[in-house]
Structure 1
Amino acid sequence: MTKQQIIDTFDPSQPGLADATVFGLPFSSEQSEIIIIPVPWEVTVSYGSGASEGPETVLDASFQVDLSHQDFPELWKLGIFMDEAPEHWKINSNAYKALAQPIIEALEGGEDLNNHPSLLEDLATINKVCRDLHSEVKEKVLYWMKQGKKVALLGGDHSTPLGYYEALATQHDNFGILHLDAHMDLRIAYEGFTYSHASIMYNALQIPQLSKIVQVGIRDFCEQEVGVVKQQNGRVLVHTDSDLKKETFEGITWAAQCDAIIASLPQKVCISFDIDGMFQWYAPSTGTPVPGGFSFEQATYLFNKLAESGKEIIGFDLVEVAPGETDWDGNVGARMLFHMCGVLAKNNGMNVGNKIVFDRK
């Protein structure tokens, strides 16, 4: 069937098709405007684990998401397709995560890795395997971009989007990252791992085309990261959770704060959303939770304002969703993923329909 025939015969009010792609949508990759690349990876995890299960957790929960989104009621008609991760990504994640644990334990025990040649050799191997992953992600992203698709990434831990950013850098000579997170992720080779989840934004800064990172919700950082921010001379702007909350306590609205955040971004923007940026109850199983944060609605409000601001959203990643005892983490992740797809589509001039407005009189 043609895409239009599928749209005409598909009932979006029924439960999502179990044998379909993400959100239960009936479209093929060729028929879909947005491609989600899952990256089930968490080799350098140093605290809570489970992020490598994030893509599958979000996919499973996505079938319960109602397709009639208030802001983007026609989004489903565009088609959203989740690509398949190469089998060796998950296999390597499990294998090299196990290889990394003795290194982490030695460092946490105060050991000098120079006294452990075998651990140093393993560390070099892990760094190479992680670099290989980023190169493969970059290649996969560029494949879909060359098909005319809008591409987003679903992690995995927060190390996973580096190849994605590198792919964007081949298409855009000047862009910024709107980074929502509890952490700065500006550590330099955290625990010796060049491509640590805690080093993603430091590694992103090595991309010349990346002109600015604007961080929102930060509430945990180290002295080294503060030094990186200062050395960048304005290339990294930090809105800590404490500062944002203080302003709201003193009468500055979230709307005004969003306007200031958006105004500080360059014309082209990629969104990087670590799920631990939100209040912990939204993602109780995420790997490195920190007290404080923002609400689901605060995040979507910021994204909606960005979509309508005249800036160009060139992509997004959603990372650090991990499964828990209930389906809650996946449920929140799936709904945030759907909203972010809507923001990306609307900002890029796709027809997502008119917002549904209810008479409240």
Structure 2
Amino acid sequence: MSIKNLVSLGLLIFVPIAIAAEKLEWGALTVFGLSAIAIVPLAIWLSTATEEIAVSLGPSIGGLLNAVFGNATELIISLVALKEGLVDIVKASITGTVVSNLLLAMGLSMLLGGLRYKEQEFQPVVARVNGSTMTLAVIAIVLPATVITTSNVVEPSAISHLSLFVAAVLILVYGFTLIFSLKTHSYLYDVGVVELEGEATPEHSEHGEGKPNLWFWVGILLAATIGVAVVSEIFVGAVEEATAGLGLTPLFTGVILLPLVGGAAEYVTAVRVAIKNNMDLSVSVAMGSSLLVALLVAPILVIVGQLIGQPMDLNFSLFEVVAVAIAVIIANLISLDGRSNWLEGLLLLATYSILGAAFYFHPV
């Protein structure tokens, strides 16, 4: 068993502790901290199970599974928060997930990978395709805010209808990106599948197996999903009171804290493969996760919000729009040449730190 799996297995002890803390009313801050830690190993096991099932089912179905369930943890947490009426935090978490994946995850990967290898290479064409699609996502975030800013009076229903239309377009575009990556141009993305198979083979070959046990990992996937849903209820129930007690705004909570909790699995995977000198997969994980959130998770939340009576639109604040635009621009610039080093990773992390400080000091 890998070190990652051993650590995540040990951290599962926080799941019953978090549940007990909520039942015994240990205080919002304690419950918030324990449930946040408990979500991390569950997210890692959910991601691991998805990868193992992908290897077992083969490139096409496996790639589709990874593409759809890659950010299941963030989606579950956001759905629970949306159900509780925390719309502002949910919208901020969309911004934060995009920013943290492009700057934090990719920055850590380039920094730690660059410290081990002088210069690392990856396919610039994949980065360019992902960058172009992310630009569309930025446009989708910018437009509703621009409509309000440039109009004297805008009916809430108009923004709601615009958001639903944009959400439908984004889901359609995501579907076409799947066709592009899994069918017509799958050869550009084969490195991810090869890497996953390469990591799975040694562990299973010791037991004389060629592929992972499908039903075992399906069980792990279901158990991890249920666990994330249960602990997310506890986490979301304590988040407002706990963060208010710490003096944190809903904006900072959504943009910085929630992505750190929900995106742990992506960060671990991106850094781990970068240290193994596979920047192709590392960049694909970081940028692909941002695409999944912008083109699928956000539109789903808009549609679900309308259905459950918690209206959510794509009208992000100007500051959130600027933050996403900055993250996309700098990530595109750094990834254009298909090469990375530790300094570029440091630049991404520095940008993330500055944005994080700006969100911290941003008034409510």
Q: What TM-score comes out, normalization by structure 2 length? A: 0.28
Larger strand percent: 1
Q: What TM-score comes out, normalization by structure 1 length? A: 0.28
Larger helix percent: 2
